[in-house]
């Protein structure tokens, strides 16, 4: 039996009071958005005949999600980060700022303040002697192919178990997190280890909901990038290492065709050798094209809460 109450004066009045429409204090934008959100939740209860049992289990689910620190993990799983990117791509397009290397989502595991070096960095601490050694390298240019020197390439990745330092306290400080300044030719390079894909905690709140949706919580092997240089649009992106079973089945919807890289095993790499690694290595080459803009607000990453970021909101 479906009863209809949403159109009644009683419910309309309730929603307006809930959102503070009858109060002069408060924030108008927050009021309007909360009004819409609560209206839509009420409507869902009506349309799906949500029972009190279902309703309260949802309330406690949200609480548990927060207590487990998984709010920013469920978000990409539900496509929200991807959706914000789709919008940002459309905004760039409308502003004549499309082009360059495609963006993709930041994810919840960035840590600010990684060690900064010039041209090259070793990202791993050498503790994993079984891991496949990789050399990440590339050039940052503008859309005309002119090298961008002194760009900051801020890279972070998981270890061979799919875990990120800081969040995994067993890893050393800033393990697999480095900032590298491009050289005069716009080049950067990093010696690292092959990352493994990430999996949501199997007993966590995110996986609990994904399981209800018949979905897995796996990400393919990937490496995150922020690339920044004043005068250019800040770029947030990731590369995927080709050949992972989840490359085109990412629970966070971050894969973009142009960002899938073929790893190339070589017997010796000049760059790695110059920095003390003479053995075989797997090269991962990622060249970045930045889009020039004089809009200063686009030169830096958007504000958001990030680990160890000073102005965390």
Interface with Fe ion by CB under 5 A: which residues?
107
Q: Which does 225 bind (CB under 5 to 8 A by kind): ligand MBD, Fe ion, none?
A: none
Q: Does 196 bind ligand MBD (CB under 6 A)?
A: no
The least CB distance from residue 228 to Fe ion, in Å, is 19
The least CB distance from residue 158 to ligand MBD, in Å, is 6
Q: What x/- string results for residues 112 through 141 when contact with ligand MBD is judged by CB under 6 A?
A: ------------------------------
Task: Report yes or no: 119 and 140 within 8 Å, Cβ to Cβ.
Answer: no
With CB under 6 A as the contact rule, the residue among 252, 261, 288, 291 that binds ligand MBD is 252
Based on CB atoms, which residue is closest to Fe ion, 105 or 148?
105
Q: Does 105 bind ligand MBD (CB under 6 A)?
A: yes
Residues in region 36-65 near ligand MBD by CB under 6 A? none
Based on CB atoms, which residue is closest to ligand MBD, 158 or 290?
158
With CB under 6 A as the contact rule, the residue among 107, 138, 186, 220 that binds ligand MBD is 107
Residues in region 209-248 near ligand MBD by CB under 6 A? 219
Q: Does 156 bind ligand MBD (CB under 6 A)?
A: no
Q: Does 82 bind ligand MBD (CB under 6 A)?
A: no
Part in contact with ligand MBD (CB under 6 A); list of ranges 42-50, 107-115, 174-182, 288-296: 107-115
Q: Does 73 bind ligand MBD (CB under 6 A)?
A: yes
Give the residues lining the site for ligand MBD (CB under 6 A). 73, 76, 105, 107-109, 198, 219, 252, 254
């Amino acid at each position: 039996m479906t009863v209809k109450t949403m159109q009644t004066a009683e419910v309309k009045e309730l929603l307006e009071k809930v959102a503070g429409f009858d109060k002069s204090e408060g924030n108008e934008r927050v009021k309007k958005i909360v009004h819409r959100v609560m209206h839509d939740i009420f409507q869902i209860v009506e349309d799906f005949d949500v029972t009190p049992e279902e309703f309260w289990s949802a309330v406690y689910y949200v609480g548990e999600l927060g207590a487990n620190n998984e709010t920013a993990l469920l978000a990409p799983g539900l496509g929200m980060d991807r959706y914000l990117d789709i919008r940002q791509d459309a905004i760039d397009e409308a502003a004549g700022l499309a082009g360059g290397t495609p963006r993709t989502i930041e994810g919840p595991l960035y840590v600010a303040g990684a060690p900064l070096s010039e041209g090259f960095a070793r990202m791993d601490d050498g503790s994993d002697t079984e891991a496949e050694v990789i050399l990440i390298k590339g050039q940052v240019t503008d859309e005309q192919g002119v090298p961008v020197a002194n760009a900051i390439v801020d890279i972070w990745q998981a270890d061979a178990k799919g875990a990120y330092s800081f969040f995994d306290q067993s890893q050393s400080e800033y393990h697999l997190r480095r900032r590298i300044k491009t050289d005069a030719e716009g080049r950067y390079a990093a010696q690292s280890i092959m990352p493994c894909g990430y999996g949501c905690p199997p007993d966590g709140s995110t996986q609990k909901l994904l399981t209800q949706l018949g979905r897995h919580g796996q990400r393919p092997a990937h490496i995150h990038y922020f690339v920044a240089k004043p005068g250019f649009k800040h770029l947030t992106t990731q590369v995927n290492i080709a050949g992972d079973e989840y490359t085109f089945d990412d629970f966070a919807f971050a894969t973009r065709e142009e960002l899938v890289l073929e790893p190339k095993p070589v017997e010796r790499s000049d760059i790695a050798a110059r920095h003390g690694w003479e053995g075989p290595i797997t090269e991962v080459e990622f060249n970045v094209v930045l889009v020039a803009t004089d809009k200063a607000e686009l030169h830096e990453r958007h504000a958001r809460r990030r680990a160890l970021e000073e102005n965390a909101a």
